[in-house]
Amino acid sequence: MKKISVVVALLAIILCSTNNVWAEVTPIANGYHVVVATFSEKQEKEARHFSQKLNKQGYHSGYGLEKGKQFIYVFLQSFEFGHYDEAVNAMLEARKKPEFATAWVVKIKDGREIKEDEPIVEEKKVETPEDTVANIVTEYIDNPPMTPIPSPQHLGNTPVFLGVYRDKDGKEVQADVKVYDVEKDKLITTAKSNAYLNLPDPKSKSGKLGLTATAFGYSDSKLEIGYYTTEQDTLQKNVVLFGSYFQLMFPLTKMNVGQEVVLSKVSFFNDAAIMTPASKDQLMNLLDMLTENPSMRIRLNGHTASNGRGKVIYMGPSKNFFGLTPDRKEENGSSKELSLARAQVIKDWLVEQGVAADRVEAVGWGGSKPVYDKKGTNARKNARVELEVLQ
């Protein structure tokens, strides 16, 4: 009998060790915690390693079990009851770093997360009524719902957060993230940055997805990830598993000298050096880029879809950059003249907005530099204006 009891006891120890049961995790202490990651109760090892990693980076990290939902929270800092403002300020400071873009504050009593307006006997009074957590929480809590965490985790059962930010200071950048099937080199979808979503299954043999974050005035940032092998990809610097979601990070750097980008959203009326109204948004982005970088100089390279001569429509004395007004001028000209006039009208608009004329060059190339087959289905895309950074 004693031998059987010993065997049963050993099996129990092995099972507890193997399953990493939540009872082994110390409940999270009372107070306010700046949480940066969530793990299931069976992922104590992963939570501990992540916390230790943060401590090595100089943070004061810890972790503990939330007994209500049975999640393990990894936090950066903790505060006693009554220190609302300190906890919120610490959270906002943490969010300035891309890796903590979704940090939030939880309120814990007796190991369980409670609502912000739930009274606590030990809580200190706040000096002013407007400083209550209830008035703050609704403005900054924006996280995916807490649901049981599958194992293993991959893009098929776990959402992602596409974090796009400026590399030099961590400032959030709004960008388009294009998602490709790597195997077929095919665009699947385009998503908006800085949001949670589920990525599509490429349904390919390799399961590889390529993601490219694109924002005007920045060089593209790229990442490749496996749809069903995503946990393995966390070895990459910019792929992080935060318990209930993957964070994919895309650091952006400003365009370098010599780089070119097509002003793809700037369009013109047929045969005209007059822009359509839809061009205004990208022009404003270009203006913002030049305003933020007062020493930057650029060149605008105009191109047409073909060579030859024909009607060229110019802006009239009313200087309406975005409309075919009655005072417009029509002349006979070459493709090179049209391409130059289109680049020049963008420069003229920038100068009208206060940009110094010597910071912008305008050049026309006609149809001499096509990027698509002139007889192919994309031939019309050869008509474009490209932005080149000179300084």
Indicate the pairing of strand 298-303 with strand 360-364: parallel
Query: What is the predicted pLDDT for the residue at 8?
Result: 41
Q: Is the pLDDT of residue 13 over 50?
A: no
Query: What is the predicted pLDDT for the residue at 212?
Result: 93
Query: What is the predicted pLDDT for the residue at 120?
Result: 55
Q: Is the pLDDT of residue 170 over 90?
A: no
CATH number attached to the domain at 260-389? 3.30.1330.60
Q: Considering the chain, what percentage of its residues have pLDDT values greater than 70?
A: 85
* Residue type (1 letter), 273: A
* Residue type (1 letter), 66: E
State how far the Cα of 190 lies from the Cα of 179, in Å rounded to an integer: 6
CA 226 from centroid of its chain's CA atoms? 19
Confidence of residue 136 (pLDDT cuts 50, 70, 90): very low
Q: Is the pLDDT of residue 202 over 50?
A: yes
Q: 81 versus 141: which is more confidently predicted?
A: 81
Do 160-252 and 260-389 agree at the fold level? Answer: no
Query: What is the predicted pLDDT for the residue at 321?
Result: 93
Confidence of residue 269 (pLDDT cuts 50, 70, 90): very high
Q: What is the pLDDT of residues 32-80, one digit of tens each?
A: 999 888 877 777 888 888 888 888 888 888 899 888 877 888 898 888 8
Residues composing the chain: 391
Q: Domain residues of the chain, as ranges?
A: 23-140, 160-252, 260-389
pLDDT, average across residues 264-290: 90
Kindly tell me the burial class for residue 14, based on how many C-beta atoms sit within 10 Å of its own C-beta (0-12, 13-18, 19 or more). exposed
Q: Is 70 helix (H, G, I), strand (E, B) or coil?
A: coil
Q: Give domain 160-252's CATH architecture.
A: Sandwich (2.60)
State how far the Cα of 96 lies from the Cα of 87, in Å rounded to an integer: 15
Confidence of residue 178 (pLDDT cuts 50, 70, 90): very high
Q: Which DSSP category does 55 fall into?
A: H
Query: What is the predicted pLDDT for the residue at 88?
Result: 85
CB distance 386 to 261 below 8 Å: yes
Q: In what order do the strands lie in the sheet with 260-262?
A: 260-262, 384-389, 298-303, 360-364
Q: Is 79 helix (H, G, I), strand (E, B) or coil?
A: strand
State how far the Cα of 290 lies from the Cα of 141, in Å rounded to an integer: 34
- Over the chain, what is the mean pLDDT? 81
Residues 6+ apart with CB under 8 A from 229: 154, 207
Q: Any alpha helices (H) in the chain, and if so which ranges?
A: 2-19, 44-56, 84-94, 134-140, 280-292, 335-352
- CA distance to 91, 195, 265, 302, 333, per residue, from 380 (Å): 50, 34, 14, 14, 19
Query: What is the predicted pLDDT for the residue at 149?
Result: 65
Q: What is the pLDDT of residues 325-369, one digit of tens each?
A: 999 999 999 999 999 999 999 999 999 999 999 999 999 998 888
Residues 6+ apart with CB under 8 A from 156: 201, 227, 228
pTM of the model: 0.56
